[in-house]
Amino acid sequence: MKRFFGMSLTLALLVGFLVLLSAGFYWAAAGLGWGFNALSISFGWNPPGTVSTAAVSYGAAVGNLLTLMMVVLMISGSMLTVAERKWSALLQNRIGANRITVGGNPLGGIPYLLADALKMLTKEAAAPDVRNRLLFELAPVLAFAPVFCLFAIVPVGPAVDLGNFFGVAAAGKSVSLQVAQIDAGLLYLFAIASLSVYGTSLAGWASNNKLALLGGVRAASQMISYEVSMGVSLVGTMMAYRTLRLEEMVVAQGAPVLGGFPALGLLLQPIGFLIFFTSGFAETKRAPFDLPEGESEIVGYFIEYSGMKFGMMFLAEFLEIAVFAGVITAIFLGGWHPLVFEETLRQNLQPIWFAAVCGGAFLVKMILLMWLQLVIRWLLPRFRYDQVQKLCWKILLPASLVNVFVTGAAILIDPSLQLLAWIGLGTIIVIGVLVGASGRQAAATDGHAAHGAAHAGGH
Amino acid sequence: MAYQLDNRPLDLRERFYFPEVIRGIGTLAGHFLRNLFFSRDANPDILARPRGLGYSDNVTLQYPEEKAPYPPGYRGLHRLVPREDGSPRCVACYMCATACPAQCIYIEAAEVPGDPIEKYPAKFVIDELRCVVCGFCVEACPKDAIRMDTGEHAPPSLERVHQLLDEKALLRGPAVSYLSDPWLRRPAPSIPAEALAAMTASARPYPDASDEYAQTPGFSVKALAAEARERAERAGTP
């Protein structure tokens, strides 16, 4: 019972901390935007007393770069290395890493982060003589950088008028928790996501090792395959929300449909969600899609890497989880919409604090999705290679194409998205029934079990 | 415990794959939440830990801090059983050293000063590295002077010589006396009279079942026979 209350308190405090954190992020973005504006005035680029949109958005982007990408992304990526151990332990009825303690308290395994970093940084960097030097050194960067860049378009919080931070003088310009608001939106996502295949395949090639090459080739073919279904699975969402920009998609998901229920991507596009989730999971190259690594058969594309170069590849995988969780939250789970008590909160809270609550809601959803990805990683065994390709080309791709046509037809018939929502609801109910229907009877009666035991003993 | 798996092919719903994956997520989430919100029971008897809602599913034993007790009858480190006066019961008859298949027991006998009959082990060394823990020495001993009832396994050491246990290290544990002990039946000059009286008072007629070395749980011939009979009966009926 003590642990129950302690854990509940910890989780509540975590949510509160996330809200405070996003409030801090807003202040950082607004402060830097305001500061850059002041700088541009002092340089004489803008007349005094004006507020330049360019200066504010540039400053806010720098602020968000520092807060969202350096703080949120890096910390969630590195915390996931701890979570991988601790959560997997909880899933498997173990305790997990608890031998490094601070004052006798293992602190949930978090001190292991320090130990890991120390180990990675101080390890000998042994590299094969026969490597292709340039590509070998470049590959970890190529694996790491695209993943990192992806987070730029993820909208963590809504736009807030700058006037709320610095009085009426600054009114009319807004800052939001998003590094880059670009028109290409999802296209940028696809473009950059497909770049990360270079890192893995070049690592495999440049190591001059058969196993690494095998891993690199597997990674390349798997990631290129799943790019296709990943792209097509989001076409339905693009059509439903009529935009490529993630921040507009999130706003559109707040609109009521089906009797006031918000038009979440999950409701409108359940099939698209499943396909995107699966394809994205394959892109992260983790179990059950971890053939490029396959540590029990080939060690994988990073077999020749050691020390922090390996650490970069390792961390890139975890960053990919975090980014992917952020993207799914934005596209399918209503982004920063808190979904519960949203109107009450909007009316009773100051705009900054409402935005902070929204940012906290986004981070909570993101953490839940990261958790879900880790659960699936520990749930399923590795697919066989033909199963991976079959799943992509024979199941996910046709399904996503059908999804596109059905979505298109539904929007053509009823542009208000009602029909699409009904179809989505029907799909969710069908999936729920399929999940809930008990297939297999509980194995055998008592007599059978005893008989089996006797046989096992006899053999 | 063995149980039979129903290994029939997948039905249509299971071949959809996704529903079963979602179910699996549900199962794992249940374990996760129970283990997250409820604390681990530290009972070393893991099967006796409470299960179900409100309890952690955790089965871990935090080894160096928590140890599962060895079962009674576990053959641990040897000890030389002392008499009440602290001297070993051992009469240096070499039976154990003779019985030992690993030849890990080394004994040097000496005569008890002032006693024309009795011997004692001037040296009694067991090499725990050579010992195969068969327990033959315990069986061979006519005086119940060597036992393996300490419940400890051989401790790790950095040097081989630390695994050589001599009579000083071996002589420990509770003292034992039997009425049939010759030094009680025949007034021994080496033992003072009052000590002899105390030993006689605490002596037992014969080793009883409360001596752990005397019983081997899980190895009862009667129980094994009953089990075999039951198994045969079950195999006979379809």
pLDDT tens, residue by residue, A68-106: 999 999 999 999 999 999 999 999 999 988 888 888 888
With an 8 Å Cβ cutoff, are A93 and B57 in contact?
yes
Q: Does the interface predicted TM-score (ipTM) exceed 0.90? A: no
Confidence of residue B115 (pLDDT cuts 50, 70, 90): confident
3-state class (DSSP) for residue A102: strand
With an 8 Å Cβ cutoff, are B60 and A87 in contact?
no
What per-residue confidence (pLDDT) applies to B66?
84
Q: How far off is chain A from B77, nearest CA to CA, in Å? A: 30
Check if A453 contacts B (Cβ < 8 Å).
yes
B181-208 pLDDT, tens digit per residue, is 888 888 777 788 888 888 888 888 876 6
Q: Which residues pair with B148 in a beta bridge?
A: none
What per-residue confidence (pLDDT) applies to A26?
93
> In chain A, pLDDT over 70 holds for what percent of residues?
95
CB distance B53 to B35 below 8 Å: no
Radius of gyration of chain B (CA): 27
Segment B172-176 shows an average pLDDT of: 85
What per-residue confidence (pLDDT) applies to A455?
43
A255-300 pLDDT, tens digit per residue, is 888 888 888 999 999 999 999 999 999 998 888 898 888 888 888 8
Rounded to whole angstroms, the Cα distance separating A21 from A164 reads 18
Check if A94 contacts B (Cβ < 8 Å).
yes
Contacts of B96 (CB under 8 A, 6+ apart): B105, B107, B136, B137, B138, B140, B141, B146
What per-residue confidence (pLDDT) applies to A439?
59
> In chain B, pLDDT over 90 holds for what percent of residues?
32
Rounded to whole angstroms, the Cα distance separating A251 from B3 reads 55
Report chain B residues touching chain A, CB-CB < 8 A. Answer: 1-6, 11, 13-14, 16, 18-25, 28-29, 31-32, 35-40, 56-60, 62, 231, 234-235
3-state class (DSSP) for residue B107: strand
Confidence of residue B96 (pLDDT cuts 50, 70, 90): very high
What per-residue confidence (pLDDT) applies to A24?
94
Residues in B touching A275 (Cβ below 8 Å) = none
Confidence of residue A441 (pLDDT cuts 50, 70, 90): low
C-alpha distances in angstroms, A130 versus A134, A200, A202, A208, A304? 12, 18, 15, 6, 11
What per-residue confidence (pLDDT) applies to B210?
54
Q: What share of residues in chain A are helix, strand, coil (percent, to 5)?
A: 70, 0, 30
pLDDT at A50 over 90: no
Which among A237, A250, A272, A247 has a CA at the least distance from the CA of A183? Answer: A247
Residues in B touching A452 (Cβ below 8 Å) = 2-4
Check if A409 contacts B (Cβ < 8 Å).
no
Structure tokens at A26: 């807003």
A384-405 pLDDT, tens digit per residue, is 889 999 999 999 999 999 999 9
What per-residue confidence (pLDDT) applies to A230?
92
What per-residue confidence (pLDDT) applies to A8?
94
pLDDT at A430 over 60: yes
Residues in A touching B36 (Cβ below 8 Å) = 7, 90
What per-residue confidence (pLDDT) applies to B237?
56
Residues in A touching B231 (Cβ below 8 Å) = 454, 457-458
Q: What angle do CA A373, A375, A380 make, to 5 degrees?
A: 100
pLDDT at A347 over 60: yes
Helix axes A418-436, B18-37, angle to 10 degrees: 70
With an 8 Å Cβ cutoff, are A439 and B13 in contact?
yes
pLDDT at B235 over 50: yes
When the pLDDT of each residue in chain A is averaged and rounded to a whole number, the result is 88
What per-residue confidence (pLDDT) applies to A451?
43
pLDDT at A312 over 60: yes
Rounded to whole angstroms, the Cα distance separating B123 from B68 reads 34
What per-residue confidence (pLDDT) applies to A25?
94
pLDDT at B214 over 50: no
pLDDT at A428 over 80: yes
Q: Name the residue among A274, A435, A452 with its Cβ closest to that of B4.
A: A452
Residues in A touching B40 (Cβ below 8 Å) = 95
Contacts of A39 (CB under 8 A, 6+ apart): A55
Q: Which residue of A has its CA nearest to B28?
A: A91
Residues in B touching A274 (Cβ below 8 Å) = 18
Q: How far off is chain A from B60, nearest CA to CA, in Å? A: 6
What per-residue confidence (pLDDT) applies to B1?
54
pLDDT at B223 over 60: no
Secondary element (H or E) of residue A91? helix A74-91
B31-63 pLDDT, tens digit per residue, is 999 999 998 888 887 888 888 788 888 888 888
Q: Which residue of A has its CA nearest to B1?
A: A453
With an 8 Å Cβ cutoff, are B235 and A8 in contact?
no
What per-residue confidence (pLDDT) applies to B200?
86
What per-residue confidence (pLDDT) applies to B225?
66
Q: How far off is chain A from B5, nearest CA to CA, in Å? A: 7
Which residues, numbered 4 to 43 in chain A, qualify as contacts with chain B under a Cβ-Cβ cut-off of 8 Å? Answer: 4, 7-8
What per-residue confidence (pLDDT) applies to B197?
84
Q: How far off is chain B from A274, nearest CA to CA, in Å? A: 9
Question: What are the start-end ranges of the H helices in A167-306?
Answer: 186-206, 210-233, 235-241, 246-252, 265-268, 270-283
Cβ-based neighbour number of residue A232 at 10 Å: 21
pLDDT at A447 over 70: no
With an 8 Å Cβ cutoff, are B4 and A91 in contact?
no
Segment B86-109 shows an average pLDDT of: 94
What per-residue confidence (pLDDT) applies to B91?
93
pLDDT at B2 over 80: no
CB distance B42 to B36 below 8 Å: no
Query: Which is higher by pLDDT, B13 or B226?
Result: B13
Q: Which residue of A has its CA nearest to B57?
A: A93
CB distance B73 to B217 below 8 Å: yes
A187-240 pLDDT, tens digit per residue, is 999 999 888 889 899 999 999 989 999 999 999 999 999 999 999 999 999 999
Segment A32-58 shows an average pLDDT of: 88
Rounded to whole angstroms, the Cα distance separating A330 from A340 reads 17
Q: Name the residue among B23, B35, B234 with its Cβ closest to that of A450.
A: B234
| Domains (range + CATH), chain B | 13-69 (no CATH), 79-175 (3.30.70.3270)
